[in-house]
Chain A
Amino acid sequence: MKSLAAALVAALSVAASAQTAPPDPDVAPTAEQRLAALESRLDKLENAPANASISSFNPAIGMAIDAVVRDSNNRANFDFRAAELNLEAPVDPFLKAWAVITGSNQGVDVEEAAMQTTALPYNLTVRGGRVFAPFGRLSAWHDHELPMVDRPNSLNTFVGGEAHADGLEVNCLFPTPFYLEGTVGAYNRIGADNNRTDILGGNSLSEWTYLGRLHTYNEVTDSLGFDLGVSEAWTPKSGQDRPTSGPLTGSVVSDPRNDSGRTLSGVDLTLRYQPAVGGLYKGFIWGTEVLQNDERTYDAASGAADGRAVSYAGYSNIESKLGRVVRVGGYADLTELTYDNRSISRSYAGYLTFEITEFDRIRLQYTRVMNNFSGDLSSLPGTDFGYNDLTGLHPGSIVSLQWTAVIGYHVHGFRGRWGS
């Protein structure tokens, strides 16, 4: 009996020591022990929750900071042009949304706040909210994304700067073997600086702007391709301030009656040479845009047509890589004033861009603006683009130094690809 008790105690103590004793480092673990340890670690990994937090659903955030120093006509200005906050995220399986909120020396503005479908059939996409309407080539680009410091005067005068538009648009990628897309849209108005339509009050549908655009791309060779686009923006009734008489000598009256209609048409062509060999260091983009503004006026009482003003504007720019970091470019712009096609402004610019990295860019530009008219531009309709009197149609020589940086989330969008 004593021996049985002793054996029991001995067995229990062995079992206890087997449970608590650390593995002997001098004894290599058996294959079974290693396998069991691995299985244990694998179980822990597989059963662990996903490495995420509730903030994972927050939108991707990025910001572009854009500043320009200008010197013109013995006046200089440091223009804090934009700190542009970008937010973007999918909404659900059918929709994505984004917002671009800009702070500048003119205050805070919502440049874009839009929703876009992601799952419609027949290659259709619907966008709504505040968008950049796809009129032409560069109107839908934010200022800091442009290949030059300031938007060409033709676009500022005819479109009204960046193509802000509150409305709804439908885009279709046509089932053709080559790239062909079409967009139709309806908006309160198009153009950030377009003050023809009051967007705060309600308007009749005849005061809205309706857009149509076709855009195609084709390749001539493996390295050479071209984009071709046609756009038309139709506003059945639009008011426009205009001088009462003479090109620029009379006083300016506003046109509260909305007794004019407007059709803005444009053709844009972009030629890209992007060689496969050495493409990091060479290549060029040549782009041209021609716009026609057709204003018709009607008698307020009878509604009969009583006048028509057609004017043209356009620019052509070319930009070439001089290496991995440096690009050189220039443009020529010709702009007839929308209410008087005898008043013409010509601009010529040359610029040198240093892409220090993908997120850091410096650009130096010289611009010469010459007008065949004179007058106080700040009081003339369609000539003051809201920045200051060192830009736009103000005649003279302008030297600009632009510095742009991007932090945070950054995406290479299809529309914003180089030279679109």
Chain B
Amino acid sequence: MKTKSVLAAAAVFALALPAAAAPLRVLATFPDLADIARQVGGADVTVESIARGTEDPHQVVMRPSFVPKLNRADAVVFMGLTLEHAFLPGLLDAAVNPKMRTDSVRECVGPACIDVSAGVPILEKPATLSRSEGELHPYGNPHYNVGPQNGPLIARNIAEGFARIDPAHEADYRRNLAAYLSQLNAAIAGWEKLVAPLKGMKAVSYHKDVAYLGKFTGLDFVDTIELKPGVPPTPTHLQGLVERMKQDGVKIIVCEQHFSRESCDWLAERTGAKVAVIGVMAGAFPDADTYLKIQDHNIRAVVAAAGVAP
């Protein structure tokens, strides 16, 4: 009888306790966004990245294992500006989650979609929309995560999205955001000092994904190793690029980690420019698995290639 009473009391007590809210299930398209989402979401979210940091963001593998995850997700955090066109619309279509639906203009529409491009000053909006200019992104250059100046805005957009979807934890998200921004802003201030001597120096990159890095560092990217965006280099183009780099006094070749270094090294040999290998996503290198670390890696790589001291 006594045992029964104790059990009954325990059951009543357990029922009276407020049920612990399950964390928000978040999928981020890229590791950068996943990392920032973890910082902002804290214990109130579980976050997974669809892309792996070493992949080409334009050719992320559409793995069906993410279909059930997207189906159950409470939020999807994405870059927008058609950067995820190779994998997100297809996965969303298969995931049949009514809170996030594929859309030909905005990639994802619905209450669970968090587009972190909102408010980003978009660079390199195409003057013409023709595929004769390569694989263009019609709304402008979508690689804004590669410029550290956009990190705070990405974090704010994620916090706003979380607060909209999960208003019960809005205060937590705001507190986490403030803490992360203080870290990020301190880091940005340090990087600004590091890159000060780069202003006006000429550089080339493999792909046209460094516009925002150029804006932050002051580097003047005059050309790309690719013939056009998404079009691999031809021998004629590379030969012409050697001449142009010599004429313009290009000192830095920014080679994104996911591209072959062969062309970068070939150019470096013929022009004397130095190669800076950067990552366009967190996780591009084993020791750069967060947004802060990959930005730090990239800044130090270009500063080292330039051979300048702050």
Contact = CB atoms under 8 A, between A and B. Distances in A.
A279 B68 contact: no
B68 A173 contact: yes
B62 A417 contact: yes
A303 interface: no
Nearest to B61: A274
A356 B193 CA distance: 42
A271 to B, nearest CB: 13
B65 A277 contact: no
Interface residues of A, number: 42
B296 interface: no
A2 interface: no
Contacts of B95: 173
A324 B131 contact: no
Given A280-B258, A280-B259, A179 B64 contact: yes
A170 B287 CA distance: 47
A119 interface: yes
Interface in B64-92: 64-65, 67-68, 71-72, 85-87, 89-91
Interface in B225-254: 230-232
- Point out which of A118, A217, A222, A357 has the most chain B C-beta atoms below 10 A from its C-beta: A357
Contacts of A176: 68
Interface string B2-41: 0000000000000000000000000000000000000000
B54 A277 contact: yes
A413 B90 contact: yes
A67 B56 CA distance: 30
B54 A219 contact: no
B93 interface: yes
Given A225-B63, A274-B61, A357 B135 contact: yes
B128 interface: no
A356 B64 CA distance: 27
Contacts of B194: none
B62 A225 contact: no
A191 to B, nearest CB: 25
A274 B56 CA distance: 12
B101 interface: yes
B72 to A, nearest CB: 8
Interface string A400-420: 000000010101111001000
Contacts of B101: 118
Contacts of A411: 85, 89-90, 104
Given A118-B101, A173-B71, A280-B258, A414 B93 contact: yes
B89 A358 contact: no
B182 interface: no
Interface in B126-150: 131, 134-135
A179 B56 contact: no
**Which DSSP category, helix, strand, loop or mixed, fits chain B's interface?**
loop
Main secondary structure of the interface of A (DSSP, over half): loop
B94 interface: yes
A125 interface: yes
Contacts of A280: 55-56, 59, 258-260
Nearest to A409: B104
B165 interface: no
A279 B135 contact: no
Contacts of A277: 54
Interface in A108-133: 118-120, 123-125
B167 interface: no
Contact of B65 (A124, A178, A278, A359): A178
A88 B232 CA distance: 30
A173 B62 CA distance: 17
B257 to A, nearest CB: 9
Nearest to B283: A276
B52 interface: yes
B307 interface: no
A414 B88 CA distance: 9
B89 A179 contact: no
B42 to A, nearest CB: 25
A57 B223 CA distance: 38
Contact of A412 (B63, B85, B232, B260): B85
A413 B72 CA distance: 20
A177 interface: yes
A218 B96 contact: no
Contacts of A162: none
A125 B101 CA distance: 13
B98 interface: yes
Nearest to B92: A414
Given A280-B258, A412-B85, 11 more contacts: A60-B104, A88-B104, A118-B96, A125-B96, A173-B67, A175-B72, A225-B65, A279-B61, A281-B260, A413-B90, A414-B62
29 contacts: A88-B104, A119-B98, A120-B96, A173-B94, A180-B68, A181-B94, A217-B64, A218-B65, A219-B63, A222-B52, A225-B63, A227-B64, A274-B63, A276-B54, A277-B54, A278-B54, A278-B258, A280-B55, A280-B259, A356-B231, A358-B135, A358-B230, A409-B104, A411-B90, A412-B62, A412-B89, A413-B90, A413-B93, A417-B62
Top 9 A-B pairs, shortest CB-CB distance: A217-B64, A276-B52, A414-B90, A179-B64, A414-B94, A417-B62, A277-B54, A274-B61, A276-B54
